Chain A
Amino acid sequence: MTSTEPFRPWAALLPVLLVTGVGVLLAWALWSLPPEAAGLSAQVREQLPNSGVRAEVTAVLLNFRGYDTLLETAVLLTALLGVWNLGKSSLPGTDLTPGPVLETLVRFLVPVMILVTGYVLWLGGHASGGAFQAGALLAGAGVLALVIHPEAILLRDHLGLRTLLVLGPLMFSLVAGLVMLTGRLPLEYPPAQAGSLILLIEAANTLSIGLMLTLLFAGGRPPRGRRG
């Protein structure tokens, strides 16, 4: 509301009423939930041996509800495309010169973060971890690298970069489609190969998610070409 508009009490009251109404509805919904609910955890535990992984959350995300996760990676890719359409990347133009402390720290941190990324990805098979967490770590490494070296090859729009960006969603869709050749439903992995297929999908998605989040940080479409 700008100051030139006349003050109208009812216009200020309406949002308050709306917010209070939604708040009361939410509180009522929360209150009416059973305090202890079994949910679907019994079913998940029962089907866990067929999922190919030993972690319940990974089994749900990559196998039982794999379709949701596939769409999530597509949402992230769409978000990046949206950002690319808004304008050019601003990072190479920054006049920021990193100090020696920051530069040395980043040089030590980035390899360690890449290593931890691989560990978290591997961890997803039997404990808490997986592609999104590993991808976020990789993006952390990418953001740090961009801060000290904005002219990096990462920030050049070329075929290699685009391939890496779609690798995750593409691998997911490919596996989803290929299992249909054996007479199954899309994303219905054969239990014997499920573990390897999930690792393949998660590895590809870690790379893509890490790169997508890094490029979101760059805040626009990188310049074309291979060399910085």
Chain B
Amino acid sequence: MTPLDWLFDGLLGATLLWLGAQVVFARRLFSTVISFIALGMLMAIAWLRLGAPDVALAEAALGGGVTGALLLAALNRLERTDPDEGEKDDVH
């Protein structure tokens, strides 16, 4: 582990935590979904750094890609059924 590795992993971990907080606390549902997709992609890099390429592949394809598309589709449907729902605060 060189200092550069420590820096990269530290930044990666901090960004993951920040994105996780964004997923929970973002005020707009759209921001939540985009943060979730970004979280999935960065999580895949984290798995790669941990030496688990199989999990990384699955996380990028399923966690980030497919789940992200599903959430966007659900959001689209929500906005069509109730115009206010999509922009509403998701913090109760």
Footprint of B on A, CB under 8 Å?
1, 57, 90, 120, 128-130, 132-133, 136-137, 139-140, 143, 213, 216-219
A158→B61 CA distance, assembly (Å):
28
Number of B residues with CB within 8 Å of any CB on chain A: 16
Q: Taking chain A's interface residues, is the majority helix, strand, or loop, or is none over half, making it mixed?
A: helix
What residues on A are CB-neighbors of B69 within 8 Å? 140, 143, 217
Q: Name, among B56, B70, B80, B92, the residue most crowded by chain A CB atoms within 10 Å (CB to CB).
A: B70
Tell whether B65 is near chain A: CB-to-CB under 8 Å: yes
Cα of A139 to Cα of B69 in the assembled complex, Å: 10
Other than A137-B61, A217-B66, give 9 A-B pairs with Cβ distance below 8 A.
A57-B54, A120-B57, A136-B66, A140-B61, A140-B66, A143-B66, A213-B66, A217-B69, A218-B73
B58 CB-CB contact with A under 8 Å: yes
User: How far apart are the CA atoms of A1 and B57 in the complex, in Å?
Assistant: 39
B74 within 8 A of A: yes
Contact of A133 among B61, B70, B77 (CB under 8 A): B61
Instruction: Let me know if B53 is at the binding interface, CB within 8 A.
Output: yes
